[in-house]
Amino acid sequence: MSNIDFFPLFLSFRVALTATCIGIICGLPLAYILSRKPGRIADFIDTLTNLPVVLPPTVLGYYLLVFLGRNSFIGKFLEEKLDIMIVFTVTGAVIAATVVSIPYMIKASKAALAEINEDYLNAARLLGRTELNIFATIMIPIAWRGIISGITMSFARALGDFGTTLMVAGSIPDKTLTMPIAIYNSLQAGNYNMANFLVLIMTTVAFAVLYIVNRLEKRIKKG
């Protein structure tokens, strides 16, 4: 194991954890809004948030480069005013992982929140509870299994992203080289020890995530 570089492993988990945390902070409120506010605008936003699931990773990477690259308005502003680089950085890898993974967080959480009996919420409103209090103390405890399912799926997707991360962050050794990209590079270079090690890690994580999600789905069905 001495010839194995553990940097891609640590970086991938760091990127995936950061992307998942961002997904929780941004995705959970959006899932709440989409679950309680039906209509054309909600349908449009829902469709928009699910686009990363069906678009090819290279297309997502292209869009991110257009909006966040050094020649874009946002990219220039961040670089010139705040000295923040997006492309070929860990920040770019986090953004790419967040974009491809957050739909799973939103979809699962929205489904779980939408199934909550409205009578519980109306009763809380009659008692003077605020919407934020209802969300935190009633909705999340009831829908927690669906939310956890979304979190685990989101983490797994962020951990396994290849195409979008490669386009935005590149494959710079000891800087932006994540596990999926390291596996590809190792195979190209004939470093099968490294490839086998990272593949084993990815497979184990994927199996664990699917097992957790399946168990949670069974508990949800049982009520």
pLDDT at site 209: 83
On whether residue 217 sits in a domain, the answer given is: yes
Residue 129, amino acid? R
Give the pLDDT of residue 220.
64
Total tally of structural domains belonging to the chain: 1
pLDDT at 80: 85
Q: Which of 11, 9, 17 is nearest to 156 (CA)?
A: 17
User: In angstroms, rounded to a whole number, what is the distance separating the alpha carbons of residues 61 and 99?
Assistant: 10
**How many Å apart are CA 13 and CA 75, to the nearest integer?**
26
* Domain that residue 53 falls in: 7-222
103 within a domain of the structure (yes/no): yes
134 in Cβ contact with 126 (< 8 Å) = no
Nearest-CA neighbor of 19 among 158, 147, 157? 158
- Alpha-carbon distance values, 149 to 9, 18, 99, 152, 210 (Å): 23, 17, 18, 5, 9
> Which of helix, strand or coil describes residue 106?
helix
Q: Per residue in 162-178, is it b (16+ CB within 10 Å) or e — as a string?
A: bbbbbbbbbbeeeebbb
Residue 124 lies in a domain: yes
Q: What is the DSSP letter of 17?
A: H
- pLDDT for 52 equals 93
pTM for this entry: 0.88
Per the CB < 8 A criterion, the answer to whether 99 and 50 are in contact is: no
102 located within any domain: yes
Per-residue pLDDT of the chain (223 residues; tens, 9 = 90+): 446 778 998 999 999 999 999 999 999 999 999 988 777 888 899 999 999 999 999 999 999 999 998 888 888 898 888 888 899 999 999 999 999 999 999 999 999 999 888 888 889 999 889 888 999 899 999 998 889 989 989 998 999 999 999 999 999 988 999 999 999 999 998 888 888 988 998 899 888 888 888 887 777 666 5
Q: Is residue 2, in this structure, part of any structural domain at all?
A: no
- The confidence score (pLDDT) of residue 59 equals 94
In a domain, 176, yes or no: yes
d(CA 69, CA 79): 10
pLDDT of residue 3: 67
d(Cα 123, Cα 39) in Å, to the nearest integer? 24
Q: What CATH number should be reported for the domain holding residue 90? A: 1.10.3720.10
Is the CB of residue 146 less than 8 Å from the CB of residue 108?
A: yes
Q: Which residues contact 122 (CB under 8 A, 6 or more apart)?
A: none
* Rounded distance between C-alpha atoms, residue 2 and residue 16, angstroms: 25
- d(CA 97, CA 155) in angstroms, rounded, equals 9
Cα 124 to Cα 109: distance, rounded to the nearest angstrom: 21
- Interacting residues of 148 by C-beta distance below 8 A, sequence separation 6+: 212, 216
